[in-house]
Structure formats: C-alpha cells, structure tokens
Amino acid sequence: MYCPDEIERILISEDEIKAKVAEMGRVLTEEYKDKNPLFICVLKGSVVFFADLMREMHCPLEINFLKASSYGSSTVSAGTVKLDVGAGIEFEGRHVVIVEDILDTARTLYSLKNDLITRNPASLKIVTLLDKPSRRVVKGFTADYTGFAIDDLFVVGYGLDYDERFRNLPYVGTLKPEVYS
C-alpha cells in the first residue's frame, strides 16, 4: 500500500471508509429514492467521497459541482471562505444534498447553506464524511449525515489535502507534525 513518509498514522482505513460510505448510501437512497435529488460536490476535497457515495445511491439523481476554499497551504483555516456558487445550476424546487469532505469550523458550509437557501430549493441537506465538532466556530452547526466524528487532528487522504498533496491516498491519515510546523 502507498504510504508516504509524511504520514504519521492511518486514522480511518480504506475498508472502514468503504463500509461507512455503503451504509450512508443505503440511508440516503431510502430518503431520496422518489425525489430525483441534486447532489452537489464541494470541490476539491469532496471529490473522492462524492464519487464513491453517488455509486452507493441506488435511485435516480443528478450531480453538479461547486468550489469553496478557505485553506491555503496552512493547516489552520484562513477564516474567510471563497465561494464560487455555480452560475447556471438551477436549485429552485430541487431536493439538494451538499456533499462535503470535512466539517471543521463550519464557516464554509454556513456560507454555502445561507447562499443556497436564497435560491429556494425544495429541501437542503448536508452530508459530510468527517466532522471535527471540537473545532466549531459557527456554534450549533451540524451536518444532517456524518460518516465519522474525529478529534482535532489535521488529516489528509481520501480527497483531503495538505498544500494540494495526499488527496489520492485511499485512507484518511494524520501528518507528522514536522510536515506543517
């Protein structure tokens, strides 16, 4: 298995992720099977989770992509969120499901949710693979569906990066502190 030197340890294995994504797909299929939902991938970090989750959805759905960024090459959120809410995506009357890689301070999803609500979707729910509840800045903000709650650790892999690296690892791992200190 490919495990770069910079990885300290594997926090969530490929098998654990696979089982969890299948379980989330089962629950979401049940909820959305008659709703032709619009699944939104929040680029770039969600792309791997999104691709796996949509293939665990056994019902009609449509997909689209948005870009949101708050981190540069640091492991601490910049505190500002840049949103590029897709021009040309029609949200009105749709059952929208935002698919995110990780919920941290929640600034990104708070901004995104507030923006999308003004576009009159029939419903709007948030799915996240990972959640770091202890890092929340937007108090009380939660996802509707969460894969794994984790401690306050900076993690990479399965789509998540540090300075654009490690997105291709099939597991979620922690970085050795010397990589970012």
Residues that bind ligand IMP (CB under 6 A): 45, 70-71, 77, 81, 100-108, 154-156, 160
User: What residues are paired with 166 via a beta bridge?
Assistant: none
Q: Is 104 an active-site residue?
A: yes
| DSSP per-residue letters across 48-59 | HHHHHHHTT--S
HSE at residue 95, side-chain half, CA atoms within 13 A, is 11
Q: Which is nearer to ligand IMP, 20 or 107 (CB)?
A: 107
Specify the residue, 28 or 130, whose C-beta has the smaller distance to ligand IMP. 130
The vertex-157 CA angle with 147 and 30, nearest 5°, equals: 25
Q: Judge whether 157 and 173 are in contact, CB under 8 Å.
A: yes
Q: Which is nearer to ligand IMP, 70 or 142 (CB)?
A: 70
Q: Which residue bears the tokens 């949101």?
A: 68
Cβ nearer to ligand IMP, comparing 55 with 67: 67
Q: Shortest approach of ligand IMP to residue 124 CB, angstroms?
A: 17
Q: Tell me the closest approach of the beta carbon of residue 166 to ligand IMP, in angstroms.
A: 9
Cα torsion 97, 98, 102, 108 to 10°: value is: -150
Q: How far is the CB of 87 from ligand IMP (least distance, A)?
A: 21
- In the bound complex, what is the minimum distance in angstroms from residue 8's beta carbon to ligand IMP? 13
Which amino acid does the sequence have at 37?
P
Residue length of the chain: 181
Q: Which of 104, 144, 151, 161 is catalytic?
A: 104
Beta-bridge partner residues of 69: 82
Which residues are catalytic, by number? 104
